[in-house]
Structure 1
Amino acid sequence: MKIKKLNILLLCGLQIGLLTLNLHAAPSDDFGRLFSRPNERKSLDILRQNQKLKVIKPEDNIATAPENIAPPQLPAPVTLQGYVKRSDGTSTLWINNKAVQENSAVDEVQIGKLQSQTGTTQAMDGLNVKIPANGKQIRLKAGQVYLPETNQIRELKTVEKAKRLNLEETGVIANDEQLQP
């Protein structure tokens, strides 16, 4: 019981103290300005009144583009033939028929780190590739080709088949039937 009365008295004393503190912290009317001396305030007012307005002409804003800028040179198609993951965590990647390490550059493209994501049905491994010429960042899986001209990712088998069919149509590569007597 004594503890309860003591807590009530402490609470009342604390509230009275806070009320008197609020009365002393009330803002006064003589707060003033940043520069409280009248001569400084007067000189700033004169400077502000005599300042010339800056006029912006629309013709000045238009920057003339240099006429001889060539478009960025797109790299050759980027092909991820495959990769090997080692138990120590490093990986070797075969890109455009060259063995490269992760986080390196080859054929004007920056190779990222091989990432594996386990989905609900199957594992989805992919490689992040950045093309500095057009600023694109893509994700390739093993057996895929990125074609920068068309900005498409296609399967390597379909691209090779289309090339072979095109060569057969132009007569560069003969069919097996034509080779037999």
Structure 2
Amino acid sequence: MRRRTPRVRPAALAFATLFGLADAAAQTSYQSMGRLFTTPSERMMLERQRSDNRAAAAAPATPAGPALPPVPEAAPAPPPAPQRVGGFVRRSDGRATVWVDDEARETTLPRVAPGAPLPVDLGGRNVIIKPGQSYDPSNGTIQDPR
């Protein structure tokens, strides 16, 4: 009677080979890396350099060249341009889109009658305004379309 020898499955053989190679590579890289600080004198030298760098960073910087002329004050910013509310659309789920300066903005609006003023966030302010009107943030006025 002939005895069968157990067959090694190819997947198990591949796994064992990869595991062995990974283990060998890890040991090789660990041995070649070495230690970061080998002696107490090297650690003391690094600590001294670190404290010197901290002291240099804390010391005020002295100008290397001639003093620069003073920087003139910047001109005041121009007043913000008026913002025009073009219209709005309310969906059945309560969300709405408002067009300000031909740019769509997603928001929520209370129910209002058609053509009635509605609250719109313009420049961080909640302004009650009708579609077609413009809001001037520099003086807070609302202007009707021309």
TM bin (shorter chain): 0.3 to 0.5
Q: Relative contact order (alpha carbons < 8 A, sep ≥ 6): 1 or 2 greater? A: 2
TM-score (structure 2 length as normaliser): 0.38
